[in-house]
């Protein structure tokens, strides 16, 4: 009789996947009024497919109770996490690297290409996600429309008004995500410019993490440092492996 107790207890425990999926389902913008012309990008409110994809993804890679280190980007984009619901994972990488079907246009995101090059160099998606959880400083994205009527990504730091409006939402989101089972000794930041500056300022105020390790943003590497991509992949791997 005593032998069954550990099994019964573990089978009822909430997994990391359960917690992330609950967090995603509850993602509703709660900050201040957005500046004129700025729209919220929330795949979990706009796309039933994103909810299904997230269910498959997190159950596949996070179906355990292990703690993980967090990696934070800026905010979801229109061709990656903004449509799949998985940070830095576009439809092509979702199908090819994760084995999860995507119905619709097979969008391509430069950042996703780079991130999965890193994951493969690390040992594959399963090996990487066993230790790391990828999110964003702001877990919801933003878009705007330019003068030609084209919808474009918009970052939380692109205007002072937007940064101020989303600040309470960002703080609340970090508190909730740490409760998922996140190591708080160090957080990794994608972007060593404005994203790092904001995250460091936020961390100085709230003390979420012991320190911040910033790395060049995947899109910056792919757009401006492509010939040196392997150098940056090695830099990423050294930073991640130093915390294992």
Q: Is the pLDDT of residue 180 over 60?
A: yes
Q: Residue-wise over 10-22: b if at least 16 C-beta within 10 A, else e?
A: eeeeebbbbbbbe
Q: Is the pLDDT of residue 71 over 90?
A: yes
Averaged pLDDT, 128-136: 98
pTM listed for this prediction = 0.92
Six token digits for residue 168 = 């309470």
Six token digits for residue 195 = 């994203």
According to the model, what pLDDT value does residue 105 have?
Answer: 79
Q: Is the pLDDT of residue 8 over 60?
A: no
Averaged pLDDT, 150-170: 96
- Domain 66-241 fold is Uracil-DNA Glycosylase, subunit E (3.40.470)
Q: What residue spans of 62-104 are helical by DSSP H?
A: 81-84, 91-98
Banded pLDDT at 47 (limits 50, 70, 90): confident
């Amino acid at each position: 009789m005593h032998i069954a107790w550990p099994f019964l207890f573990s089978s009822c425990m909430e997994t990391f996947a359960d917690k992330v999926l609950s967090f995603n389902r509850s993602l509703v913008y709660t900050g201040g009024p957005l500046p004129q012309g700025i729209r919220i990008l929330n795949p979990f409110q706009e796309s039933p497919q994103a909810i299904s994809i997230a269910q498959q993804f997190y159950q596949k890679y996070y179906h355990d109770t292990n703690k993980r280190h967090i990696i934070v980007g800026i905010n979801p984009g229109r061709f990656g996490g903004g449509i799949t619901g998985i940070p830095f994972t576009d439809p092509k990488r979702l199908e090819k690297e994760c084995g999860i079907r995507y119905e619709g246009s097979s969008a391509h995101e430069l950042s996703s290409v780079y991130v999965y090059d890193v994951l493969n160099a690390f040992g594959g998606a399963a090996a990487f996600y066993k230790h790391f959880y990828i999110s964003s400083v702001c877990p919801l994205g933003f878009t705007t429309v330019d003068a030609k009527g084209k919808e474009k990504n918009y970052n939380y730091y692109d205007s002072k008004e937007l940064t101020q409006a989303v600040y309470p939402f960002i703080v609340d989101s970090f508190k909730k995500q740490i409760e998922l089972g996140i190591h708080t000794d160090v957080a990794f930041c994608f972007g060593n410019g404005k994203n790092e500056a904001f995250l460091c300022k936020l961390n100085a105020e709230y003390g979420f993490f012991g320190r911040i390790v910033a790395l060049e943003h995947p899109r910056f590497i792919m757009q401006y440092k492509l010939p040196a991509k392997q150098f940056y992949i090695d830099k990423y791997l050294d930073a991640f492996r130093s915390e294992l």
